[in-house]
Amino acid sequence: MRRVAGGGAGVAGTFASVSMMFSSSVPSPAPRGAFRRGAVSAPGGSPDGAPGGAVPGPRTAPAAAPRVPAPRGRRAVSALALSALLVPPVVAGGTAYAADGGGEKQPKDPAPPAVMSRVGGERLGVPGVQVQLKDGAPKVPRGISARSWIVSDAESGEVLAAKNPHWQLPPASTLKMLFADTVLPKFPKGEKYTVKPADLEGMGAGSSLVGIKENLTYTVHDLWLGVFLRSGNDAVHTLSAMNGGTEATVAEMRQRAKDLNAVDTHVVTPDGYDAPGQVSSAYDLSLFARAGLQNADFREYCATATAQFPGDKGKGGKRETFGIQNTNRLLTGAPGLQPYPGIAGVKNGYTTHAGNTLTAVAQHGARKLLVTLMNPSKEEPNESYKETAALFDWGFEAAGKVEPVGRLVGPRSEEGDASAAGHHGAAGDDGKSGKGQDPSALEATDSSGGAWTAVGVAGGALVVVGAVALVVRRRRPLPEAVRREARRRR
């Protein structure tokens, strides 16, 4: 089976306190000499977690590209052997994900594991929707078809509601959040690097590419734009080469996941491309987003809508550029889909094996919410974005009207090993399915509330938003300068 859009292939919205305009227009075509290989489309739609509708797709390597060799046998065996020693075992009862080379998809609607991690709260390990509504609280929207999802407060970490958040599933390009959280702090934005041919070897067939060329020089800033906007696996592999190689980077990502108490995650590829044993969870992806969003550069890149990317050298040796646009449609919009109000990142992904995955952060007023969603079963255009928007709408309306069913834990440096006894979440949870859960909470509800708004166009230039000091481990007030700006814009 050919994987589509990159290993994930791949979330400007703005916090309400720092509203900025961005372009939802199609980027300018690549200039002469720029990377022109056609995008590979998902069945029924375009790449990178965005089925349906035409969006300028990431440049993708053809399935038979000569620079995309099959994994070498010794290395593949070694990776599997090492994973058996290092990875927390996939919870019994879950879907067994094998290599994506047999030409068969996984079952459409597998059952969640009967036993999952309880990190963050006993109820977070119980299959099914977990929510504790107070009087007057809105009902969780019907029609959310994702296998796993979680709605949490980005500042306090309180989990408002969740469904199978610890189900270990292929993450696709949302795993790039962990890659960025691990590698991004190491290299100054202005540092330059000349790409070697070996740096671009080993990418999976059909990988999404931003269009990096060997023997040309790029800044670190350029490379991160390629990672976040186009979900470019070529940018990931180049940065991994700068970081000592793919194997070293994967080892660091595994350690970083452990440091963040992300016990559901096992990393095999730095870009999220499907591989045997590579899994994460909606819970862990939310942890990665919270950690990454503490970094100002991470916030800048994940909230950038459009940018110009270096191309080939033209006449006189001057580098040409071509336009790139973020693949996150909650941020840029798409036909029939407006950008979500207050959106500020973070990352989407898609492969045929993982389905659509998405982690997003948005702010309404003083409230900042994180939503992570994995693998909707509905095959509708932009379904992952629509379901995420519905969960955001519910979360902003329900904030203060629900009892938390768990929490996003802090890193080991603050809380120790959260998988140990005594490190579970909400007090009083006994882990029994449906305890305190009102069956009517799952009845249909109109979650839109007229919340969609149009976002202005500001040309095709790079747009940076999300420069707010988003707090993710401990609740802290926003800087007073940001509050003054929010008041001025009201």
Catalytic residues: 173, 176, 231
CA-closest candidate to residue 233, choices 69, 41, 9, 2:
9
Question: What residues form DSSP beta bridges with 133?
Answer: 402
The tokens describing 125, both together, are 């390990």
Strand locations in 41-155, DSSP E? 59-60, 129-133, 146-153
Q: Is 319 helix (H, G, I), strand (E, B) or coil?
A: strand
CB atoms within 10 A of CB 37: 12
Q: Are 232 and 322 in contact (CB under 8 A)?
A: no
- Report how far residue 109's alpha carbon sits from residue 95's, in angstroms, rounded to the nearest whole number: 10
The tokens describing 75, both together, are 């290395």
The H or E element spanning position 308 is: strand 306-313
Burial of 394 per CB tally in 10 Å (0-12, 13-18, 19+): buried
CA-closest candidate to residue 289, choices 202, 195, 408:
408
Q: Is 325 helix (H, G, I), strand (E, B) or coil?
A: strand
Measuring CA to CA, how many Å separate 461 from each of 21, 260, 344, 422?
11, 35, 17, 50
Question: What residues form DSSP beta bridges with 248?
Answer: none
Read off the amino acid at residue 43: P
Q: Are 1 and 354 in contact (CB under 8 A)?
A: no
